[in-house]
Amino acid sequence: MTRTISILGATGSIGDSTLDLVRRHRDDWRVVALSANCSAAKLAKLAREFGAEIAVVGDAACLPDLREALAGSGIAAEGGPAALCDAAARPVDVTMAAIVGCAGLAPTMRAIEQGRTVALANKEALVSAGGVMTAKVAEHGTTLLPVDSEHNAIFQCLSGGRTEDVRWITLTASGGPFRTKSQSELEAATPAQAVAHPNWDMGAKISVDSATMMNKGLEFIEAHHLFPVGLDRLRIVVHPQSVIHSMVEYRDGSTLAQLGPSDMRVPIASALAWPERMDTPCEPLDLAGVGELSFFAPNEDRFPATRIARDAARAGGAAPAVLNAANEVAVAAFLAGQVKFTQISAISSRTLDSYAPPAPRSLDDVLAVDAEARARAGTLLEPA
């Protein structure tokens, strides 16, 4: 049976991997909407290849280029945040929500309101609007499937189990490219070094988050909303090989772990095919070739981001939204050469200390908190 799919963030790394799987199973899927922030030429090429109904650029300034590239194709071309939300609202069986950062929040919410299935690859949306988003999921009966490798692993390990029987949920972290670096080396780290992840091929923002360990902190908050076992039952362990993607320990002492190659097509395929399975081109896991698996406690002196995120999760309310916004500002400044690598977590922490708004009750509340937190974080940027 052919199913319909929309991919929000089609030109990014998650979009590329999703479309690779759709391409390999063309008879199973009909593409409805594809979006990108800009990347008009690439978006148009993909829309033509997959016969999409509509292609949307989030940046309206890129719309003329998109329309020119799609001229004569019969594919609708639109641009701007409102058009992006309208495209996300088109009824489809599965929406892949893969727009990076808080920019993906509003369209992801519109997709949730369809009441179908949303494959969530945008952790920032759930971090910023956790209570608002989960309430919307419940209101519309939407199936929310996690795509992050760690959360998809937990989802698989919980299959057939009960959350009340869970003793621990353990998120694994590679430790990023700077795991063994000294404090002085971290001070001098460059954007090029930070985005060179040892195991995963990811976009710049998420690669920097992995290097600071903020990615794992945000995933800790996301796990809290996806798997409500309580913050005291969530923990992080550094696992440099990135073979075990997460683990669930039950009260009888059994621990279930999901293992697989460091290829995002594995968790994406899990979400697309759920509750069944689908073939992927990924190489089978060769444990003999891996040789050994090692584990370490996070070093929160050199990488304080996980502690900052855990404290934000415990504070609750608007704190996670403030943290996410400040981190996005700080990461963008680091990539632009404006601040040092070690300032990223410091800016996030100082923003949290200076801004404690009431808990958001709506999407508009979340967006208002996000905007103010960004403004405050911006005032904390100091030259690198």
Number of structural domains in the chain: 2
Using alpha carbons only, give the angle 279, 285, 288 rounded to the nearest 5 degrees: 160
379 occurs within a structural domain: no
Annotated ligand binding at 199? The verdict is no
Residue where a domain stops, chosen among 315, 343, 362:
315
Residues 213 and 306 in one domain: yes
39 annotated ligand-binding residue: no
80 and 141, same domain (yes or no):
yes
184 is in an annotated binding site: no
Q: Could you read off the pLDDT of 83-115 as tens digits, one per residue?
A: 999 999 999 999 999 998 888 999 999 999 999
User: Are both 168 and 190 inside the same structural domain?
Assistant: yes
CATH number of 106's domain: 3.40.50.720
By CB neighbour count within 10 A (0-12 exposed, 13-18 middle, 19+ buried), where does 256 fall?
Answer: middle
Cβ-in-10-Å burial (0-12, 13-18, 19+) of 365 comes to middle
Does the annotation list 219 as a binding residue? yes
Q: Is 11 annotated for ligand binding?
A: yes
> Nearest Cα to 348, choosing from 236, 188, 209, 237?
209
In this prediction, residue 384 carries a pLDDT of: 60
Give yes or no: residues 128 and 205 share one domain.
no
* pLDDT score at 100: 86
Q: Are residues 11 and 41 in the same domain?
A: yes
Q: Are residues 115 and 101 in the same domain?
A: yes
User: In this structure, are 172 and 206 located in the same domain?
Assistant: yes
Do the annotations mark residue 136 as ligand-binding?
no
Spell out the per-residue pLDDT of the chain, length 384, in tens: 899 999 999 999 999 999 999 999 999 999 999 999 999 999 999 999 999 999 999 999 999 999 999 999 999 999 999 999 999 999 999 999 999 888 899 999 999 999 999 999 988 899 999 999 999 999 999 999 999 999 999 999 999 888 999 999 999 999 999 999 999 999 999 999 999 877 777 788 989 999 999 999 999 999 999 999 999 999 999 999 999 999 999 999 999 999 999 999 999 999 999 999 999 999 999 999 999 999 999 999 999 999 999 999 999 999 999 999 999 999 999 999 999 999 999 999 999 999 999 999 999 999 999 999 999 999 999 776
> Pairing relation of β-strands 234-238 and 143-146?
unpaired
Q: Are residues 310 and 190 both part of a single domain?
A: yes
342 in any annotated domain: no
3-class SS at 177? coil
Q: Within a domain: residue 49?
A: yes
221 labelled binding-site residue: no
Co-location of 102 and 211 in the same domain: no
Q: Is residue 205 part of a domain?
A: yes
Q: Are 72 and 18 contacting, i.e. CB atoms less than 8 angstroms apart?
A: no
Residue 123 lies in a domain: yes
Do 134 and 192 belong to one domain? no
Dihedral, CA of residue 326, residue 225, residue 215 and residue 127, to nearest 10: -20
> Has 246 been labeled as part of a binding site?
no
DSSP letters of 26-53?
GGGEEEEEEEESS-HHHHHHHHHHHT-S
Where is the domain boundary, 112, 146, 180? 146
The span from the CA of 354 to the CA of 356, in Å, is: 7
Is residue 205 marked as binding? no
Per the listing, tokens 């996000």 go with: 370
Residue written as token pair 């030429």: 41
The answer to whether position 358 is within a domain reads no
Q: What is the pTM of this model?
A: 0.94
**Residue 132, domain extent:** 3-146
Query: Is 60 in the same domain as 158?
Result: no
Which of 99, 126, 146 is the last residue before a domain boundary? Answer: 146
In a domain, 332, yes or no: no
> CB of 84 within 8 A of CB of 107?
yes
Residues 86 and 69 in one domain: yes
164 is in an annotated binding site: no
